Amino acid sequence: MKRQEVIHLYNRFGFGLNAKEIRRFSKMSFEKKLRKETVDELRLDLSEFQGIDFKNLSKLERMELRKRGRKKVLDLNAAWMRKMISSENIVQEKMNLFWHHHFACIIDNPIYGLQFTNAIRKHATGNFRTLLLEVSKSAAMIDFLHTRQNNKRMPNEDFARELCELFTLGRDREYTETDVAEIARCFTGWNHRFSGAFFMQTRKHDGGSKTIFGKTGNFTGEDVIDLILQKKACAQFICENIYTYFVNPVLHEAHVNELTEVLYDSNYDIEKLIIHIANAEWFYARENILAKIKSPIEFIVGLAKQFKIENDSTESWLTLQRLFDQVLYRPPNVKGWKVNREWIDSNSLPFRLRIPSVILTNAQLQLEPKPDYDANPMGMERNNFSKRLGFSCDWDYFFANNKRINFKVLFFNNIISPQVAEFLENNSFASKKEEVIQLISLPEYQLM
């Protein structure tokens, strides 16, 4: 593979590479890279939350427990951040992030958070049916979309609607309001225990006959998922999302159709799909290079990987995520985070242009995130917020891994606006460090 192609490939199916990795991965096919990767579940000591007799706790004890739980989710968040930054399984890690975008879910409970995350991690490049089923049965999703409130006598349509609209078919495509109501009936009785384990509450399940997409039967939740997956529209919707996330925010009909066939014919094999993208000539077309705006997590992880940025404090990672407006396990709502251009406006851009230099020089930060009363009840604001985030970076690591490479190639795949290129030509930098900091302060660094 050519250098420009390798950089592009792992910008999208990864968080960017250093020069050493570019050389290493250019001698390896994407398939081989994938085969070398392993499923790597997140681990977190949650013993303090296990074996609790929740029913017999007082109201105050429950509140206290929830508070500790919310704090623990931040540890889970930080653990995931560190994994993204340090893991060799870069494709897997990127896919995990993509699926969290796809299955947006607000999570306050660390046990359910870990279960949800690991369900995704196990199947991120596996079969979409299995992934969808595992996520749907996870305690986090059951709570978030009110599946457990969905019962025979009073169905709750939340999960049924989002399953169709956000997870599989796309808004108002190939399903009707009647379908949603009937689908909700099929998922009645889905529940989870305090431990997070899924169970079927038969008493609440509506075993009667339902009519979905014109077909009639005593369908269960699993049956519904099969009925949906039988529709090519589902494969198409997934491929559209994959395309805008990994290829180009502007859809290309022919390419999406091509991917739809691959996914549908392989019975929803995600690995086959992404290998097809990596092998497609059009994936490397000029219009796709540097065409995407980095999401905050992509931005932070990419920067952190390149400069070995570390921090022992969970709070610093969280502050950074909040300033960027993307906190793991806290999407703004069921529709998920912003995408592409929505991340950029006059408020976010100056911050995003400056934050790399702030982190790399350990400078002071003046911006304070907005208070989050759900996560921190009664939280009071601090006056004159100004803090060092306290991230450490390793310049020796950066230079050792980026020998013999033009930084414009490294950071921007050599695509740069003519005016800036001219400016750079005519200016010399005081040092290599200075050059690097200035380059990653360019608007182009927002792109990938």
Partner 1 sequence: MKRSEFLRNTTLGAVGTLFVPEFLRGMELVGLQSKTNFNKLVVIQLSGGNDGLNTVVPYENDIYHSLRPKIRIPKKEVIKLNDELGLNPSLEKFNRLYDEGLVAILNSVGYPNPNRSHFRSMDIWHTGVDSNQHSKTGWLGRYMDAHCTTSHSMLELDSKLSLSLNGELRNGLAVQNSQSLYRSLRGYYFDQVIDTGEFADLHEDNQGYLYKTLVHTRQSGRYLAKTHTVKENNFEFPKSRLGRKLGQVSQFIRSGLSTQVYYVSHNGFDSHANQRNQQDRLLKDYSDSVYALVESLKKAGEFDNTLIMTFSEFGRRVKENGSSGTDHGKANNLFLIGNRLIRPGIYNAAPNLMGLDDGDVSYTIDFRNVYSDIISDWFGKDPSGIISKQFDPLDII
State the residues that interact with partner 1 by CB under 8 A: 59-60, 249, 290-293, 323, 325, 332-335, 338, 340-342, 344-347, 349-351, 353-354, 366-374, 377-381, 383, 415, 417, 419-420, 423, 438, 441-444, 446-447
CB closer to partner 1 out of 136 and 288: 288
Question: Which residue in 208, 235, 111, 93 sits closest to 152, CA to CA?
Answer: 208
Structure tokens at 409: 């190639």
Q: What is the DSSP letter of 171?
A: T
Question: Which residue in 99, 45, 92 sits closest to 328, CA to CA?
Answer: 99
- Work out how close the CB of 290 gets to partner 1 at its nearest, in angstroms, rounded to a whole number: 7
- Distance from C-alpha of 287 to C-alpha of 217, rounded to nearest angstrom: 48
CB closer to partner 1 out of 42 and 415: 415
Phi, psi of 319 (to 5 degrees): -55, -45
Structure tokens at 372: 């989050």
- Distance from C-alpha of 408 to C-alpha of 416, rounded to nearest angstrom: 8
- Work out how close the CB of 135 gets to partner 1 at its nearest, in angstroms, rounded to a whole number: 20
- Work out how close the CB of 323 gets to partner 1 at its nearest, in angstroms, rounded to a whole number: 8
CB closer to partner 1 out of 99 and 324: 324
CB closer to partner 1 out of 217 and 332: 332
- Distance from C-alpha of 368 to C-alpha of 414, rounded to nearest angstrom: 35
- Work out how close the CB of 443 gets to partner 1 at its nearest, in angstroms, rounded to a whole number: 4
CB closer to partner 1 out of 270 and 440: 440
CB closer to partner 1 out of 337 and 391: 337
Q: What is the DSSP letter of 404?
A: S
CB closer to partner 1 out of 256 and 323: 323
- Work out how close the CB of 98 gets to partner 1 at its nearest, in angstroms, rounded to a whole number: 19
CB closer to partner 1 out of 65 and 447: 447
Radius of gyration of the chain (CA): 23
Alpha-carbon torsion angle 439, 444, 445, 446, nearest 10: 150
Residue whose structure tokens are 């060799």: 88
CB closer to partner 1 out of 46 and 415: 415
DSSP reduced 3-state for 68: helix
CB closer to partner 1 out of 125 and 288: 288
- Work out how close the CB of 334 gets to partner 1 at its nearest, in angstroms, rounded to a whole number: 7
CB closer to partner 1 out of 78 and 440: 440
Task: Say if residues 120 and 133 touch (Cβ distance below 8 Å).
Answer: no
Beta strands in 129-249 (DSSP E): 190-192, 198-200, 210-212, 215-217
- Distance from C-alpha of 381 to C-alpha of 393, rounded to nearest angstrom: 29
- Work out how close the CB of 324 gets to partner 1 at its nearest, in angstroms, rounded to a whole number: 10
Structure tokens at 42: 């997140």
- Distance from C-alpha of 69 to C-alpha of 260, rounded to nearest angstrom: 40
Beta strands in 133-259 (DSSP E): 190-192, 198-200, 210-212, 215-217
- Work out how close the CB of 431 gets to partner 1 at its nearest, in angstroms, rounded to a whole number: 14
- Work out how close the CB of 183 gets to partner 1 at its nearest, in angstroms, rounded to a whole number: 17
Structure tokens at 148: 């457990």
Residue whose structure tokens are 């799909």: 273
- Work out how close the CB of 18 gets to partner 1 at its nearest, in angstroms, rounded to a whole number: 23
CA neighbours closer than 13 Å in the CB half-sphere of residue 208:
11
- Distance from C-alpha of 218 to C-alpha of 268, rounded to nearest angstrom: 25
Paired residues of 215 in beta bridges:
212
